[in-house]
Amino acid sequence: MYKLNDFDSRKQLNEALAETVSEILQSAITLKGKASIAVSGGSTPKGFFNVLSNKKIDWKNVTITLADERWVDKNSNASNARLVHEHLLQNKASVAKFFHLKQGEKLCEETLVDLNLSANNTLLPLDVVILGMGEDGHTASLFPCSEQIKQDLDSANESLLIKIEPKTAPHQRITFSFAALKQSKNIFLHICGEGKKQVLNKALSTNDIFEMPIRAFLQDKDTNIQIYWAK
C-alpha cells in the first residue's frame, strides 16, 4: 500500500520529510531509548540530509545505516557511507552512531554472518527506511538483473543483509533484503524529477516485482510506503 505526497519544490519536500522523520525518531527514542534509520545514497537525498542533520533530536541515541552499500573503499566517490558522513553526520547529527555495511576487505560468507547478527541485534526492526529508485525500478541494491532477485524479494527470506552482483551496475554490493526492510513501519520513497515520476507510474501500472523490484514495496498489502516526490 502506498500514499503519494507531491511537493512543488525539492526544498518543500526536504523540509516536510525531515520534519516527519525527526518526529518518528524522537518518538522511538522516547518509547524505547533508541532509534534506527536506514537511508539511501545518490544525489537526491543530499538536501534532505542537510535539513535532517539540523533537527533537534536526541541524536546520540540514533543509529544511522544504509539501505545498501557498494563494496568500495570508504573514501571512494562511489561510497554511500562517505555521502552520509559528508551530508548527514553533520551539525546536530554529528553525535549519532553509524552502522557500516562494509566491514573488512572481502564480502564473504563469514562477513555476511557477522553483519547479519550485528544488524539484527543493533538495528532491526528499523524505525525509518528511506528508499530511492533507479530508472530500472531497482531500490536499495535489489536489481532486476541480479541472479539473486527472487531470493532477495522473498518476504520469508531470513537473511537480513545479502550480497549482490548486479549485471547492469558497477561494484559488488551489500543490501538489506526486502524482508528486512519491510519490517519497518515507516518506509519512505524519496524521488525527484519528471523522469522518476514516469518510472513510478510504470511501476504502479503492473505487478511483476521481478521486473521492477520497487513494486514489492508499493504493492505489498502489509507494507505502508509514503512516496515523497517533487519536480
Residue 177 falls within a domain, yes or no? yes
Dihedrals φ, ψ of 194, to 5°? Answer: -65, -35
Residues 18, 51: contact at Cβ < 8 Å?
yes
Tell me if 74 is assigned to some domain.
yes
**pLDDT confidence of residue 105:** 80
**Residue 201 vs residues 3, 5, 6, 141, 206: alpha-carbon distances, Å:** 13, 14, 14, 20, 9
Residue 117: CATH number of its domain: 3.40.50.1360
Q: Among 127, 63, 60, which Cα is nearest to 100's?
A: 63
Q: Do the domain assignments include residue 222?
A: no
221 found inside a domain: no
How many Å apart are CA 224 and CA 103, to the nearest integer? 31
Which triple of cell numbers denotes residue 82?
562517505
pLDDT value of residue 176: 97
Structural domain range at position 107? 2-215
Going by pLDDT thresholds of 50, 70 and 90, the confidence category of residue 104 is confident
Instruction: Classify residue 231: in a domain, yes or no.
Output: no
Q: Does 229 map to a domain?
A: no
Entry pTM: 0.95
Domain membership flag for residue 223? no
pLDDT in tens, 151-180: 899 999 989 999 998 888 889 999 999 999
Q: Nearest-5° angle of CA 208, CA 213, CA 214?
A: 105
Instruction: Taking residues 134-148, report their average pLDDT.
Output: 94
> Domain tally for the chain?
1
Report the distance separating Cα 219 and Cα 57, nearest Å: 32
Q: Is residue 58 part of a domain?
A: yes
Could you please report the per-residue DSSP string of 182-196?
A: TT-S-EEEEEESHHH
**198 or 171, higher pLDDT:** 198
